[in-house]
């Protein structure tokens, strides 16, 4: 797949991208971090250091998302408000790009983050379980995607 489709492009991310994304994170994403007792900037920095990480750039040439995948297929994404300016193009781009990230992708999402759960469904992920993950009584939806025939 080319690294540019319907106006979006992607490049490898660096630690310098973390504060740029952090200052414009979607409110739902920030709420997810705080409900889980985590600091957004520290989590994104750790993800950027320890996983294969990318910066998604919008058709307006602005940072739109920071995302990545660990060696075991654990995929993650933090989106900015720039995504909301081009929702259809973003979904189309993400649906194709996610196929390049590995044969099996998985993670969990806070059950309260309805927009993210809808987005995951639109790009081909399936819900596999709902689990209570911590002492804060927060439920998470486990999701996965198998990319057949690409590996």
Banded model confidence at residue 2, pLDDT cuts 50, 70, 90: very low
Q: Which residues of 89-112 are buried (b: 16+ CB within 10 A; e: fewer)?
A: bbbbbbeebbbebbeebbbbbbee
User: What is the pLDDT, as a whole number, of residue 63?
Assistant: 97
pTM value? 0.88
- Is the pLDDT score of 150 beyond 70? no
26-59 per-position pLDDT tens digit: 999 999 899 888 999 999 999 999 999 999 999 9
Q: Please, are residues 143 and 126 in contact by the beta-carbon 8 Å criterion?
A: yes
Own/partner pairs, 37-41, CB within 8 angstroms, 24+ separation: 37/134, 37/136, 40/78
User: What is the pLDDT, as a whole number, of residue 151?
Assistant: 59
User: What is the pLDDT, as a whole number, of residue 14?
Assistant: 97
User: What is the pLDDT, as a whole number, of residue 5?
Assistant: 46
Other CB atoms within a 10 A radius of the CB of residue 132 amount to: 11
- Is the pLDDT score of 1 beyond 50? no
Q: Given its phi and psi angles, is residue 71 left (phi above 0), alpha (psi -120 to 50 degrees) or beta? A: alpha
106-116 per-position pLDDT tens digit: 999 999 999 99
55-96 per-position pLDDT tens digit: 999 999 999 999 999 999 999 999 999 999 999 999 999 999
User: What is the pLDDT, as a whole number, of residue 4?
Assistant: 45
- Is the pLDDT score of 104 beyond 60? yes
User: What is the pLDDT, as a whole number, of residue 8?
Assistant: 95
- Mean residue pLDDT of the chain comes to 92
What is the C-alpha separation between 85 and 96, in angstroms, rounded? 19
30 Cβ contact partners less than 8 Å away, ≥ 6 residues apart: 40
């Amino acid at each position: 797949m080319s690294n540019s489709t319907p106006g979006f492009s992607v490049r490898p991310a660096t630690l310098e991208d973390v504060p740029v994304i952090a200052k414009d994170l979607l409110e739902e994403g920030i709420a997810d971090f705080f409900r889980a007792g985590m600091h957004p900037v520290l989590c994104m920095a750790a993800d950027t250091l320890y996983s294969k990480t990318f910066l998604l750039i919008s058709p307006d040439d602005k940072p739109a998302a920071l995302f990545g995948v660990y060696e075991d297929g654990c995929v993650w994404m933090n989106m900015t408000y720039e995504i909301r300016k081009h929702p259809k193009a973003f979904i189309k781009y993400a649906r194709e790009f996610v196929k390049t990230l590995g044969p099996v992708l998985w993670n969990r999402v806070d059950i309260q983050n309805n927009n993210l759960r809808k987005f995951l469904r639109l790009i081909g992920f399936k819900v596999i379980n709902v689990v209570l993950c911590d002492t804060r009584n927060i439920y998470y939806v486990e999701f996965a995607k198998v990319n057949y025939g690409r590996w």
